[in-house]
A and B are shown apart, each in its own frame.
Chain A
Amino acid sequence: MSKRTPVARTEQDDGDGPSEQPDSERADQPEESGVETGAEAVVAGLENAGVEYLFGVTGGAIMPVYDALYEHEELTHITMAHEQGAAHAADAYGIVSGRPGVCMATSGPGATNLVTGIADANMDSDPLVALTGQVPTGFVGNDAFQETDTIGVTRPITKYNIFADDEATVGTDIGTAWALANEGRQGPTLVDLPKDITQAETDQRPEEPSTPDTYDPPTTAEAVMIEAAAETLVDAERPLILAGGGVIKGEATEELATVAREFEVPVVTTMPGTGAFPQTDPLSQGIAGMHGTGYANMAISNCDVMLAVGTRFDDRLTGDIETFAPDAEIVHIDIDPAEISKNVEADYPLVGDAGVVLEQLLRAMPGRPAAEAWREQCRTWQEEYPLDYEAPADEPLKPQHIVERFDEATPADTIVAAGVGQHQMWAWQYWTFTEPRTWVTSHGLGTMGYAVPAAIGAKLAAPDREVVAFDGDGSFLMTAQELTVAAREELDLTIVVLNNEAVGMVRQWQDGFYGGRHMASEYPWAPQFDKVAEAFGAKGLRAEHYDDLEETIQEAREYDGPAVIDAAIDPTEDVYPMVPSGGDNARFALNAEQLEGL
């Protein structure tokens, strides 16, 4: 079949307005001629950026770009079941690989279906490039078929977006979007590709990916401020490091560990910062926030100097801002000046690249803080408030137990994906994370349905590593159709549905704050997920009892392809510790009775 099929042409000519069809003779020698259309310039732009995978769904306005991908072996297109899945898969690819994932969709509904995934990437500063088809420029603004103002819709949820209105520069636009997604504080970008532009003739090869001249992210912090911050840290009696997602995004985990160990400062991580510091390290003080560990939240509440790196002080971390680390002078390292003093005032703002600034700080430290008593106090809190659950053998499976057994069975570099809800919190709490880029979930936006497509993107980014996705029954039902992709692409991954036949986190809140009125939170009609998995071409398994759990885990791991375990968990189990929304971090509840007393 030639590169441009007569079928494609007929479609393009069919009511799409002015179409400038190139001469057919080019099809004989595509390799020699290089770029000949806007669409080929787009593909060349992706190749320039070293893109390996595209996650997408085709459709009318994006067809010229898909057509230009025909017979392109360097770029592998993964056809997803739904555009939301494409965005999440690309997002997870970006988290695991550190380089922007790329998703594609057509105009109108294709673009709007990407929106959730783009917004998710925006909240979590995940590197993502979205390419959307658009109606021909002459039709824009006329409410044409499948027209949506994608630029307008995505402006508030992208780092930058570009309406590509010139075939001569459309390939370069791709490189600009890729570079902007990748550099500085990472985030999502979008290029909107009108069909007449991608169809138009051009022989302009795209320029190498680069950010605009006006984009100049800071690298090093001011020397004066570094010195002041270093002095404050050395004088601290109760110093604490708060490691956020920026430590991982900024590839600064080694520098962070050096600072922590050199000066013996305990380290707490945020949820996106999970994996920034090994949880097996004696200085690890655990995970903080609404469902963080009690000992991490006690350390946060009582520290006198906090070195916060790459965190935006989200409300799920801080709780009530008035009681957040109330005695602490805050040294805040962030590459985005707008994060400084946005939610919590920084006494020592250090704007720059996390790794670079941590090294500056390391060099400037005149000594180490005398904090032995504080470290002892931190260890005491670990003993006083360990993560804990009961698992009687004759009762239904406890989700925490399943997470722990999986963690024990798998290698340390296993990638854990999760959806959003109770299952996500159990996975976060009970897995021991020791490496960066192993915790892949939706943090800021809280997007249910993230896990299955994320597992797909994660596996393609790290094909030699194990991928385990924890999902809830509610979350799984939102994107389960992406199993078809995992089966088709023969991706060896395991999805564990912690099934309590409810939107459990909502139900937990209803029990805690709405008088136990379970409105729209219970799923007594849930399907059998193992059978759903089989129907999609995946391996389906059930876990209902403690005695055969290990066996089921092994069977799922050994299966060469996607396996889904429908795990019937104790439907009465809830997530603790819990700091109620807007509460004081030190007043976390360890059980329902304590929650009621708050």
Chain B
Amino acid sequence: MSRGELPGPEPGERTHPEGRRNGQGIRIDPEAEAERSAERAVLSALVTHEPGVLAEISGLFSRRQFNIESLTVGPTVDDSLARMTIVIEEPRSGIDQAKKQLEKRVPVISVRELDDDAVQRELVIVKVNGDSPDQVNAITDMYDGQTLDAGPRTVTVEITGAQQKIDDAIDAYRQFGIRELVRTGHAAIARGEAPTAQVSEPNQAPTEAQVATEEVTDD
């Protein structure tokens, strides 16, 4: 039999289902379909405190094109462990994938996505022109900030708070002319009894039972 005489139908005439998947590989429900849009999530990862872990995690996020808003890392009560707080902006499937890719790395002990009500703080240090020190002080007071340094030409202040508060404060300082500013990125911890990310957790996605327990403790 020669290739020109195959009995099967031509490409355009072959049986093929009507359905489709979207670009994220999810079967489309024609009733309610929209590409899922990006959302913001705060991930807390407990990692072994050793050289190269930060490079490993930041490399992971960059090579898999996860969109991160901030990444902070610091020691914990246990000297052998460090905690990373990562704010990520991705569709739900991307957030889930980021969690699983994190959990997969050997130095990562556990990963948890924090609830919206988690305690979140960021610190910003802003250096503004010192032409109107009284007005600068008024804004600093308004945002419960502190003046760290004041001279004839500059005033340096510190504001701590949730992201929106920091953004608002920076906007308020713009009128004086911001010379430089430094933001730390997010630190976050789960509220109340809820765990953030713990050593005892198995290094895999939480089971339904675990999720259920978590919801109970959250209330």
Contacts and interface: CB of A to CB of B under 8 A. Distances in A.
A589 B6 CA distance: 12
A594 B19 contact: no
Contact of B17 (A301, A340, A347, A351): A301
A594 B56 CA distance: 46
Contact of A336 (B3, B93, B104): B104
A591 B17 CA distance: 24
A384 B6 contact: yes
Given A156-B59, A163-B51, A214-B203, A598 B1 contact: no
Interface of B, secondary structure class, is loop
B26 A345 contact: yes
Interface in A316-375: 321-324, 326-329, 336-338, 340-345, 347, 351
15 contacts: A151-B52, A214-B48, A222-B207, A302-B17, A321-B21, A322-B21, A322-B23, A323-B20, A326-B27, A327-B18, A345-B25, A586-B15, A588-B11, A594-B10, A597-B12
B2 A390 contact: yes
A302 B14 CA distance: 10
B103 interface: yes
A224 B12 CA distance: 41
Contacts of B27: 326-329, 345, 347
Interface residues of B, number: 51
A224 B83 CA distance: 33
B204 A313 contact: no
A443 interface: no
Contacts of B207: 222
A155 B55 contact: yes
Given A214-B48, A298-B15, A385-B8, A326 B106 contact: no
Given A216-B202, A591-B3, A337 B100 contact: yes
B146 interface: no
Interface residues of A, number: 58
B135 interface: no
Contacts of A222: 207-208
B3 A586 contact: no
B37 interface: no
Interface string A582-594: 0010111111001
A384 B8 contact: yes
A564 to B, nearest CB: 30
Interface string B47-59: 0100110011001
B74 interface: no
Given A152-B55, A345-B27, 20 more contacts: A155-B56, A214-B106, A214-B203, A218-B204, A224-B208, A301-B16, A313-B25, A321-B25, A323-B16, A326-B19, A326-B27, A328-B27, A338-B101, A344-B21, A344-B25, A383-B7, A384-B8, A384-B9, A385-B6, A591-B4
A359 B104 CA distance: 25
Interface of A: 151-152, 155-156, 159-160, 163, 180, 212, 214-216, 218, 222, 224, 294, 298, 301-302, 313, 321-324, 326-329, 336-338, 340-345, 347, 351, 381, 383-386, 388-390, 576, 584, 586-591, 594, 597-598
A591 B3 CA distance: 7
B63 interface: yes
Interface in B102-124: 103-109
Contacts of B184: none
B103 A337 contact: yes
B20 to A, nearest CB: 5
Contact of B6 (A313, A336, A590): A590
A341 B25 CA distance: 8
Interface of B: 1-4, 6-12, 14-27, 48, 51-52, 55-56, 59-60, 63, 93, 96-97, 100-101, 103-109, 202-205, 207-208
A294 B3 CA distance: 13
A340 B103 CA distance: 13
A384 B7 contact: yes
Q: Give the residue among A155, A212, A218 with the most B Cβ atoms within 10 A.
A: A155
Contacts of B56: 155
Nearest to A318: B25
A390 to B, nearest CB: 5
A160 B25 CA distance: 29
A88 B50 CA distance: 31
Contacts of A328: 27
A349 B186 CA distance: 32
A160 B184 CA distance: 29
A116 B20 CA distance: 37
Given A163-B51, A338-B101, A180 B106 contact: yes
B31 to A, nearest CB: 16
Closest 7 CB pairs of A and B: A384-B8, A326-B19, A338-B100, A344-B25, A327-B17, A587-B11, A345-B26
A155 B52 contact: yes
Q: Give the residue among B17, B22, B51, B203 with the most A Cβ atoms within 10 A.
A: B17
A160 B9 CA distance: 49
Contacts of B24: 345
B202 to A, nearest CB: 6
Contacts of B97: 338, 341-342
Contacts of B1: 386, 388
Nearest to B15: A302
B153 to A, nearest CB: 40
Contact of A214 (B21, B60, B100, B109): B109
Given A156-B63, A180-B106, A216-B203, A340 B100 contact: yes
A435 to B, nearest CB: 29
Given A155-B59, A336-B104, A338-B97, A587 B12 contact: yes
Nearest to A346: B25
B134 to A, nearest CB: 50
B96 A341 contact: yes
Contact of B3 (A342, A388, A598): A388
Contacts of A294: 8
Nearest to B105: A160
Contacts of A322: 20-23
Given A222-B207, A388-B2, A381 B52 contact: no
Nearest to A589: B11
Contact of A345 (B59, B60, B93, B108): B93
Contacts of B96: 341
Contacts of A342: 25, 97
B23 to A, nearest CB: 7
A326 B21 contact: yes
A426 to B, nearest CB: 14
Nearest to B98: A338
A383 B6 CA distance: 9
A326 B26 contact: no
Given A222-B208, A338-B97, A215 B25 contact: no
A590 B93 CA distance: 36
Nearest to A159: B106
B5 to A, nearest CB: 9
A337 B97 CA distance: 9
A321 B21 CA distance: 7
A192 to B, nearest CB: 11
Contacts of B60: 156
